Amino acid sequence: MDDDVIRAWTAEERRRIARDLRIISDVAWDLPSLCGAWRCRDVLAHLVWLAESSRPRVVFDVAKTFRPPRRAIGRIARKLGDSDPSSLLERLDAAAEGRFVLPGAGPQVALAEVLTHRADITRVTDGPLRSSDERTALAIEAYRDLWWYFGVPSRVRGAHLVADDAGFEVGPSDGPEVRGSGTSLLLALAGRPNVRSELRGAVEVFG
């Protein structure tokens, strides 16, 4: 898959979030998301921060918190998350073409972040859900390829994942089969335990 195509997809998905999630109520933005201890507004803020960032800015922002990187990213998200969600959606739309990715990672990681975090929000609010498609499949591949960063264990990488709603399959054909919607599979790979009840087959690979 051409990197420029993936970047264009990521920009389009950011703009879709900026448009689609405007219907979410102020109260709903304060709900706990599927992403750890983050509120839905914190998840949105994290997407804005990633879209607006460059590598020097990320290094600076993380360093000034005086915390390990993962804890620093959480602190940044929660602080920025106190901003008005409407303004954050506007900023995400404006920064949709942002090209920051983890050092050594391809643009598919940015796409995976966007699709995963959209679902982290819309699964617990009145925001519109997104249908699974080839972009979802690419995001799942990104989690598998960068297993060392996302913490995807070998038993999950060895599973045969089948998206019933989108007609794609990921992983070795002779591995234990897990079936579900593409988005549910994506969220399971991202470590969201809430979705395991939506899967069928060898669900035990997810722990």
pLDDT category at 122 given cuts 50, 70, 90 is very high
Taking Cα atoms as reference points, which of 42, 76, 44, 45 lies closest to residue 59? 76
Residue with tokens 């994290």: 46
- Whether 42 has a pLDDT exceeding 80, the answer reads yes
Question: Which residues lie closer than 8 Å to 123 by C-beta, 6 or more apart?
Answer: 34, 129, 187, 194
- What CA–CA distance (Å, rounded) separates 145 from 104? 12
Helix (H, G, I), strand (E, B) or coil at 200: strand
Spans of all domains in the chain: 3-109, 134-206
pLDDT category at 85 given cuts 50, 70, 90 is very high
CATH of 134-206, picked from 3.30.70, 3.30.1050, 2.40.128, 1.20.58, is: 3.30.1050
- Whether 206 has a pLDDT exceeding 80, the answer reads yes
pTM exceeds cut of 0.85: yes
